[in-house]
Structure 1
Amino acid sequence: MAIRRGLLSEHFEGVAVKRLAAVDANPESSNQHEVTGSEPLLRILGSEDRKFPKGETDNRFSATYIWLGGEQEALSEEGFLSWYDSRRNQPKRSAEWRLYYQSNAVTELMKPGDVLFLARKPDSHILFIVTPDESTIRNQLLWLFGLDEQIGMKFESQEIGDGNDAELDFAARYILDELGIELEEKEADKLDGLIEKFGLKFPTTSVLSGLARSSLLGVNAADDPDEALLLWMEREEQLFRRLERRIVAERIAQGFTLVDGADVDGFIAFSLSVQNRRKARAGAALENHIAAVLEANQIRFAHGVETENRNKPDFLFPGQPEYRDTTFPTARLTMLGSKSTVKDRWRQVLSEAVRIEEKHLLTLEPGVSENQTDEMRAKLLQLVVPRKLHQTYRLTQQAWLMDLSAFITVVIDRQS
């Protein structure tokens, strides 16, 4: 059963991007909370005045303000944006379009040099997304929307349609998830049939991982390890989210109430448990599928065994006895860390196997910042990324990245 995916145009009509100047980001540097418009932004937001309400008419854009920074740095608020020609009542002067934004927790974090993305959805709702410059999420959004890496102080825009529409592959779905956009599955009925036996309970991750692999006939991890890993991970994500929707809906239907009112603490605890389960499951699923790829390629390995100082690398090659045998050649030892998202946690891998100087780390995170990959190289950590995700990285990074097939070749050579 092949994976069916949606298109980017189902979620966005267009996007504009610019680097924030002091007058854009600091209210103290301007009379109002405004960003000066331009022709590219006009193509995305249109030429209709959408001003603050006067009388009974409110024609503003509804908006979600989003700040995305580094590790655990994410914030969003609902609000609105006002888009208008400040010279509409001066017919002899050319139009001067301005975008007025609200003051809130997100805009208070903005600073000159940050990057602003304005993405218009099909229902005209606007995502007002702010990211630090040179950050991983900035790179991911530029790749997702097909925008140039050279971001100027004036808006550049990209309409999303027939000419440049893109299928929502693994990388695109990953980034949309970072934005909090839940995707509607194109094959929900088939997925429901696969998970029907679980009822309203989550199976163990190993069981769900096995189901994901068995449901994709024709995927051969010996022929193409990179493709197999991504397809298996994507299918498991589909199965998990479909089952999660059922279980969460049932819990919400039960309500969060106490004798004396709403159970706010209970609701917050439940929400956190949902988020934590997603993160923990993704990491465990990745390890399950990596192990299946290694087994398909007949590679000797140990999973989660101790090396020294209670450290337990995710994968050790060829195994723990060889690692502990001081007479076994160090050049034939290999370790592989596994992290579905890198962020700042990649440094944990550096101390996990003292005997092995050059370490490997596999991640599914697209477009990791060049600052981070430069530091990895300096610390002798080789990043392993499934081949299809290489396109989300800069060309200067792609030459250094290793794909899973190449890693497997290295390990086989050391074990032969």
Structure 2
Amino acid sequence: MRRGLLSDYFVGVGAKRLAAVDADASSSNQHEVTGSRPLLRILGDRDRKQPRGGEDTRFFATYIWLGAEQEALTEEARLSWYDSRRNDTTRSAEWRLYYQTNAVTEMMRPGDTLFVARTPQDHLFFIVVPDGSTMQNQLIWLFGLDEQPGLVFEPREIGTDTDAELDFVARYILDELGIEPEEPEADRLDSIIERFGLEFPKTRLFSQLARSSMPEISAADDPDLALVAWMDREEQLFRRLERRIVAARIGDGFRGSDGADVDGFLSFSLSVQNRRKARAGQALENHLEAVFEAQGIRYVRGAETENRNRPDFLFPGQPQYRDPLFPEARLTMLGAKSTLKDRWRQVLSEAVRVPEKHLLTLEPAISENQTEEMQVKKLQLVLPRRLHNTYRLTQQAWLMDLAGFIAVVRSRQDS
């Protein structure tokens, strides 16, 4: 199925590490980002200045700050872009990016990374992320930039020769930015989910539908490819059905006896977000279960261990885990989380008899600080092979793919 392209959403991007003069109000009152001349390739050479009684030519911009889990801010404001020496013919041009103070810019700190991205509609994204963070790694990978941006903007134009298809990984990152890619083949997706009308089916049924719509995919032959393909297809189908259900609900309106039903609207919006998160985790477990079935692996899903903990998958099963005579070296547990953030530590106490634990995720480009801590805690990260290249080379040698994990489990079960 054809997917969208990165150039559908961005024509160019620049990234730099913020200096004190860029981000620290005590160091500068100018609210300007320095070293901006390289941005000419992205923002052009037309003055986009603060208006003085005439037309407002400034860029409309979305300011975004992304920190750790649940730490995100978004503001809509303006950005000015101009040559401060345009009227001085004796000096070379000095282009400046002038930002408005808002909740996002107040969170900026020297050393953070700034991404300035321009859309085909001339809208700018002003994205700030902490240095060394997972989100920094993800954006660097998405835009194809150098791993460590310097104090001068590194620009990159996004065109036909540098474009990339919006696969599962890219769409995940865009979703973090609040961008929901459109489906080029929406009609085909609608035909698959037509029978559900305006009701969500049970997640297990939806997962089965996603797999059955891709008969060419074999988990027995390539478990890594199968898991990503199935998850990608289920996400496509879910978002299309969700769009139809949400559109119908909005069409009905949110009216109460006293006017607008604000509480009803907020409750509905929250339920949409919560459903997305819950169904993603359930879908991942459903498709992993299908992979293990196709591979002939013995497992149990959600078995209880100590203190009422329930690891997502236990190998070979609960009776063996509870048998004190069964060798611990032949036991394996696997946690499954579609995204990690800081939640990976939850799996460390889920199976005391398994000293080295495994955790599968679909989150790309997790920071080195996080993966180094996982190694210290004896937690092995498992990712579909497709996601390995989003990580730095220093991390990739340690990562395990799904086929490798299955080989470990099979060797323990066959011994």
- TM-score interval w.r.t. the shorter chain? over 0.9
Which segment is superposed worse, 126-135 or 156-165?
A: 156-165
Q: Is residue 2:196 matched to residue 1:198?
A: yes
2:219 and 2:184 mapped to 1: Cα distance? 25
**What displacement does 1:190 show?**
1.1
Q: Is the 8 A contact 2:142 2:173 kept in 1?
A: yes
1:24 aligned to 14, 22, 25, which one? 22
The separation in 2 between residues aligned to 1:262 and 1:20, in whole angstroms, is 43
Q: CA deviation at 1:109?
A: 0.6
Report the counterpart of residue 319 of structure 1 in structure 2. 317
Q: 1:321 is paired with a residue of what secondary structure?
A: helix
Instruction: Write out aligned runs for 1:377-392 (5 A).
Output: 377-392=375-390
Q: Deviations over 1:180-226 (max 9, x none)?
A: 11111121111111111111000010010000000001100010000
Q: Is the CA contact (8 Å cut-off) linking 1:37 and 1:99 kept in structure 2?
A: no
* Aligned equivalent of 1:97: 95
- 1:360–1:382 CA contact under 8 A, matched in 2: yes
Please state whether the residue corresponding to 1:28 is helix, strand or coil.
Answer: coil
Structure 1 range deviating more: 36-45 or 232-241: 36-45
Give the Cα–Cα distance (whole angstroms) in 1 for the partners of residues 54 and 241 of structure 2. Answer: 44
Query: Counterpart of 1:270 in structure 2: which amino acid?
Result: F
- The structure 1 residue matched to 2:158, chosen from 136, 157, 160, is 160
- 8 Å CA contact retained: 2:36, 2:97: no
Question: Which whole-Å deviations, capped at 9, do the CAs of 1:311-344 have from their partners, x for residues lacking one?
Answer: 0000000000000000001110000000000110
After superposition, the C-alpha distances for 1:12-40 in whole angstroms (9 at most, x for unaligned) are 10000011111111222113211124332
* Alignment partner, residue 411 of structure 2: 413
User: Please, what TM-score do these two structures have when normalized by structure 2?
Assistant: 0.99
C-alpha offsets along residues 210-261 of structure 1, whole Å, 9 cap, x if unaligned? 0000000110001000000000000000000000000000111111122222
The alpha carbon displacement at 1:51 in A equals 0.4
Identify which of 348, 370, 395 aligns with 2:368.
Answer: 370
Matches within 5 A, 1:46-195: 46-195=44-193
Alignment check: 8 A CA contact 2:335 2:358 kept: yes
Equivalent-residue separation in structure 2 for 1:353 and 1:302 (angstroms): 13
Match status 1:309 vs 2:314? no
AA aligned to 2:359 is L
For residue 397 of structure 2, what is the amino acid of its counterpart? A
Matched with 1:215 is 213
Structure 1 alignment gaps of length 5 or more: none
Contact 2:141 2:390 in 1 (8 A): yes
Partners in 1 of 2:128 and 2:150 — Cα distance? 15
Structure 2 residue corresponding to 1:4, chosen from 2, 7, 14 = 2
Measured in 2, the distance between the counterparts of 1:379 and 1:108 equals 35
Who is 1:290 aligned against? 288
Match in the other structure for 2:326: 328
Q: Deviations along 1:287-333, whole A, 9 cap, x unmatched?
A: 00000000000100000010111000000000000000000011100
- Counterpart CA distance in 1 for 2:287 and 2:378 is 25
**d(CA) in 2 for partners of 1:62 and 1:69?**
23
* Aligned amino acid, residue 18 of structure 2: L
Following TM superposition, the consecutive aligned residue runs of length 4 or more in structure 1 with deviations greater than 3 angstroms are none
Aligned counterpart, 2:259:
261
Aligned AA (2:32): E
Determine the C-alpha separation between the residues in 1 that align with 2:282 and 2:139.
Answer: 26
Task: Tell me the distance in 2 between the aligned counterparts of 1:64 and 1:168.
Answer: 21
2:233 is aligned with 1:232? no
* Percentage of matched positions with identical amino acids: 73
Deviations 1:367-400 (A, max 9, x none): 0000000000000000000001000000010000
The aligned amino acid for 1:415 is Q
Letter in 2 for 1:300: R
Aligned to 1:153, the other structure's residue is in SS state coil
| SS of residue paired to 1:29 | coil
When normalised by structure 1's length, the TM-score is 0.98
Distance in 1, Cα, partners of 2:369 & 2:49? 41
Q: Which secondary structure state, in structure 1, belongs to the residue aligned with residue 306 of structure 2?
A: coil
- Tell whether the 8 Å contact from 1:364 to 1:385 is kept in structure 2 after alignment: yes
For structure 2, list consecutive stretches of 5 or more residues without a partner in the other structure.
Answer: none
1:341 equivalent to 2:349? Answer no
State how 1:276-287 maps to structure 2 within 5 Å. Answer: 276-287=274-285
For residues 189 and 61 of structure 1, the distance between their equivalents in structure 2, rounded to whole angstroms, comes to 35
The one-letter amino acid paired with 1:233 is M
Q: For residues 160-180 of structure 1, what are the alpha-carbon distances to aligned partners after superposition, in whole Å with 9 as ceiling and x for unaligned?
A: 112211111111111011111
Is the CA contact 2:223–2:402 (under 8 Å) kept in the aligned structure 1?
A: yes
- C-alpha contact 1:305 1:316 (8 A) present in aligned 2: yes
Amino acid at match of 1:236: E
- Kept in 1, the 8 Å contact 2:37–2:96? The answer is no
Q: How far off is 1:91 after superposition?
A: 1.2
**Greater Cα shift, 227-236 or 143-152:** 143-152
Distance 2:195 2:176 in 1: 30
Q: Supply the AA of the counterpart residue of 2:216.
A: G
In structure 2, what is the equivalent of residue 401 of structure 1?
399
Q: Paired residues, what number?
A: 414
CA contact (8 A) 2:302 2:311 kept: yes
Moved more, 31-40 or 69-78: 31-40
The alignment yields a C-alpha RMSD, in angstroms, of: 0.8
